[in-house]
Amino acid sequence: NVLPNAVVALSGTEHWTTTDGSGVFFLAGHLEGKYDIVFGHPRIDSIGFISPAKSLDLELGVTRNVNLGVPPLRSVLASRCPMIALTSLRRVLFGIVRDSEGRPVLGADVAAFWQTIPTDLRSFGVDDQEARGRTGNLGTFTLCGLRVGREVVVRAQAGDMLSEFVPVLFDGESFRAGRDVQTGDRQVARLDFTLRSPAEMEASIQGRVLADASLRPIVGVEIVVAGTPYTAVTDATGYFTIGNLPPGSHRITARRVGYRRVRHDAVLARGETLMLSDDALKMPSGVTELAPIVVEAEGVLLAQRHLVTSGFFDRREAGFGSFATREEIEEWRPTETTDALRHMRGIRVIPNPSYGFGRDRRKYLIGSGRTASLSQGNFCPALIFLDGVFAGNGVEANIDIDNLMSVNNIEAIEVYSGPSETPPRFNRPGANCGVVAIWTR
């Protein structure tokens, strides 16, 4: 296919032009010597393709014909997301992270969070899944495997610099980022971020959490600002304050045992102290009797087909690793995800001695089957994958697997004890400590 309106330039010079409707370009001038020719176009920029420089030897009075090309979209995406199978349910997000002066930021972390259950059941408080990426020399990042039809919250961070969070939705024929909507069938979309320094983080949020039924203040509610390290706990009067926030959009979550989790989206201006209304984080309590739920076989068939297309059964047939399907997991009667993992060969689940200190909420750590104890200094953290997406290991990524994944949402688990038996899609640095791959329903 031709690429009209692409910009073609001789690197390091002021000579440039654009292609016509047939993808043809013409550059003329007093050109002699060796040059590098490059090109760009918004469509290929949005998939993260950077034109490689092509070297030319030019002579006065001699016309050179040059052919420039773009690899197929699937090839570009496969190089950026080698472990993700792009399907009708998965998408890729690409972008650039800059500082407040417009300079690209190297080594910024970009994270996306989304729900593991349908949006109409969010109030039941299932934790978010994550996809993470890190910017390279040009400040570019790639997030792989984002779910279609689920709102995804994306934020960038580098050290103590933060961006605002942006709600993103891939929805079949459109892509929405905040209020911006782009149409078209998109496997990939672009979203850029600007980081703010601590000096620019002058906004704060205050509020009170009340019980929905009695309107009494609730003490000990954990308040979390999505995608930031900032949290607070309500006092005896139900009040909380969180400061040092960057201006922009934020998602605030309130959670406490015995109450349904609630969320509230707020927009902060620079220097603003926003006081939330009492209705913003009002928490329903008690047991609610739900209307009957009809479970149809098609949902199970879809989950099974997902396992087939992901290669789960092929890997199980090969005889390496430890595998469990939904039916086998239910026979163990687990109440937490770590209960199920204790039945898997090749890894160990051990108590976290740091649980309850600071912000560490992980009751258990998942490590190599060779791990004896943390006290002996030989704990080896296993790699975690969720629906084929690498989530990190439980130590460096601070993953609380029980909060990250409800055992009721697990369709299958596969575990590998080391690189020798780990298949290529999961084999990456750190696999010597074991690999845990969880597939959701």
Q: Provide the pLDDT for residue 47.
A: 55
Q: Provide the pLDDT for residue 415.
A: 92
Q: Is the pLDDT of residue 124 over 70?
A: no
Least confident of 78-87, 113-122, 225-234: 113-122
Q: Is the pLDDT of residue 402 over 50?
A: yes
What does the pLDDT average to over 125-136?
69
Three-state secondary structure string covering the chain = CCCCCCEEEECCCCCEEECCCCCCCCCCCCCCEEEEEEEECHHHHCCCCCCCCEEEEECCCCCCCCCCCCCCHHHHHHHHCCCCCCCCCEEEEEEEEECCCCCECCCCEEEEEEECCCHHHHHHCCCEEEEEEECCCCCEEEEEEEECCCCEEEEEEECCEECCCEEEEEECCEEEECCEEEECCCCEEECCEECECHHHCCEEEEEECEECCCCCECCCCEEEECCCCCEEECCCCCEEEEEEECCEEEEEEEECCCECCEEEEEEECCCCEEECCCCCCCECECCCCCCCCCCCHHHHHHHHHHHHHHCHHHHHHHCCCEEEEHHHHHHHCCCCHHHHHCCCCCEEEEECCCCCCCCCCCCEEEEECCCCCCCCCCCCECEEEECCEEEEECCCCCCCHHHHCCHHHEEEEEEECCCCCCCHHHCCCCHHHCEEEEEEC
What are the φ and ψ backbone dihedral angles of 67, each rounded to 5 degrees?
Answer: -105, 125
Q: Provide the pLDDT for residue 50.
A: 62
The more confidently predicted of residues 121 and 329 is 329
Q: Taking CA 435 as the corner, what is the angle to CA 429 and CA 436, rounded to the nearest 5 degrees?
A: 140
The more confidently predicted of residues 372 and 352 is 352
- Asked if 414 and 312 count as a contact pair (C-beta separation under 8 A), the reply is yes
Residue matched to tokens 């609630």: 262
Tell me the sheet residues that pair with 142. Answer: 94
Percent of the chain clearing pLDDT 70 (strictly above): 78
What does the pLDDT look like over 8-59, one tens digit per residue? 888 878 888 888 888 898 888 888 889 888 887 766 665 556 667 788 888 8
State the Cα–Cα distance between residues 4 and 2, nearest whole angstrom. Answer: 6
What does the pLDDT look like over 215-249, one tens digit per residue? 899 999 999 887 677 789 999 899 999 987 877 77
What does the pLDDT look like over 150-195, one tens digit per residue? 788 888 988 888 887 788 888 877 788 876 766 655 677 888 898 8
What does the pLDDT average to over 351-370?
75
**Confidence grade of residue 299 (pLDDT, cut at 50, 70, 90):** very low
Q: Give the HSE-up count for residue 342: Cα atoms under 13 Å, Cβ half-sphere.
A: 14
State the Cα–Cα distance between residues 408 and 72, nearest whole angstrom. Answer: 39
Q: Is the pLDDT of residue 269 over 50?
A: yes
Residue matched to tokens 């928490």: 283
- pTM of the full structure: 0.45
State the Cα–Cα distance between residues 405 and 425, nearest whole angstrom. Answer: 21
- Asked if 241 and 266 count as a contact pair (C-beta separation under 8 A), the reply is no
Percent of the chain clearing pLDDT 90 (strictly above): 11
Q: Taking CA 54 as the corner, what is the angle to CA 51 and CA 56, rounded to the nearest 5 degrees?
A: 150
What average pLDDT does the chain have?
A: 79
Positive or negative CA dihedral for 323, 406, 352, 114? positive
The more confidently predicted of residues 124 and 214 is 214
Q: Provide the pLDDT for residue 372.
A: 45
Tokens of 123: 């109030």
Q: Provide the pLDDT for residue 104.
A: 86
- In angstroms, the Cα distances linking 300 to 289, 295, 409 are 24, 9, 12
Q: Provide the pLDDT for residue 186.
A: 63
Beta 54-58 vs 16-18: how paired, if at all?
unpaired
Least confident of 145-149, 340-344, 408-412, 435-439: 145-149
Q: Is the pLDDT of residue 296 over 80?
A: no
Q: Provide the pLDDT for residue 374.
A: 47
